[in-house]
């Protein structure tokens, strides 16, 4: 994996026609929607994207993304570090009609003819790959203490008023 920082915008059609490979890193801080989700937007995303044409001449992007992110543990609400990886398999399309004709094993990626934001694609794929629930493997659930003046559940029934009205008739 290359250590160089990836360019922000590329021509996806040209890259696919020339069978180019993008390898490098993107800062998590450069991905604003992902940075809002994680506890500390630190570190880099390792990116490997191969632009190509498949057997049916569809322009495609295949690749792999990997990042180590600090998320909130759903059990103890403390920080937990998780490795997030995504296998990318996208079909490059210019219109909704092209997206409908794309084989089912590709997710459509709607782009403009001359530019595509690499950051947006990487960010979207990583967000989709986040675990639904992040937690420590050895985490203990925090116990909530009962308040001292805890009611034992014997509350006045709000429908007692109705029974009283029934008796008065």
All structural domains of the chain with their residue ranges: 9-137
Given CA atoms 103, 107, 113, 118 in this order, what sign does their dihedral have?
negative
E strand segments, 54-111: 59-72, 79-93, 107-110
Beta bridge partners of 69: 82
What pLDDT shows up at residue 61? 94
pLDDT at res. 158: 77
Mean pLDDT throughout 71-94?
Answer: 91
- 51-67 mean pLDDT: 94
Confidence (pTM): 0.74
Please state which of the ranges 5-9, 67-71, 127-131 shows the lowest mean pLDDT: 5-9
**Res. 39: pLDDT tops 70:** yes
Q: Report pLDDT for 142.
A: 57
* Confidence at 1, pLDDT banded by 50, 70, 90: very low
Pair 111, 93: CB distance under 8 Å: yes
Percent of the chain topping pLDDT 90: 44
Is 167 or 154 the better-scoring residue by pLDDT? Answer: 167
Grouping H, G, I as helix, E, B as strand and the rest as coil, residue 83 is strand
By CB neighbour count within 10 A (0-12 exposed, 13-18 middle, 19+ buried), where does 31 fall?
buried
Q: How far is CA 5 from CA 2, 126, 157, in A?
A: 8, 17, 66
Q: How far apart are CA 69 and CA 162, in angstroms?
A: 57
Residues in contact with 79: Cβ distance below 8 Å, sequence separation at least 6, in sequence order: 39, 40, 70, 71, 72, 73
Across residues 23-51, what is the average pLDDT? 90
Candidate from 35-44, 104-113, 152-161 with smallest mean pLDDT: 152-161
In the chain the first and final C-alpha atoms are separated, in Å, by: 85
**What gap in Å lies between CA 21 and CA 51, rounded to an integer?**
6
Residue 143, pLDDT > 60, answer: no
């Amino acid at each position: 994996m290359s250590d160089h920082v990836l360019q922000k915008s590329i021509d996806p059609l040209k890259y696919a026609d020339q069978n180019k490979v993008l390898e490098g890193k993107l800062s998590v801080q450069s991905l604003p929607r992902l940075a809002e989700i994680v506890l500390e937007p630190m570190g880099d995303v390792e990116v490997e994207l191969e632009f190509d044409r498949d057997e049916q001449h569809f322009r495609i992007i295949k690749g792999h993304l990997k990042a180590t992110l600090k998320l909130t543990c759903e059990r103890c609400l403390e920080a937990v570090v998780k490795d997030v990886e995504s296998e990318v398999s996208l079909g490059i399309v210019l219109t909704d009609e092209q997206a409908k004709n794309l084989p089912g094993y590709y997710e459509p990626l709607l782009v403009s003819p001359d530019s595509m934001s690499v950051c947006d694609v990487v960010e979207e794929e990583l967000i989709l790959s986040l675990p639904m629930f992040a937690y420590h493997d050895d985490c203990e659930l925090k116990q909530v203490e009962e308040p001292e003046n805890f009611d034992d559940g014997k509350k006045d029934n709000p429908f007692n008023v109705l029974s009283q009205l029934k008796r008065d008739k």
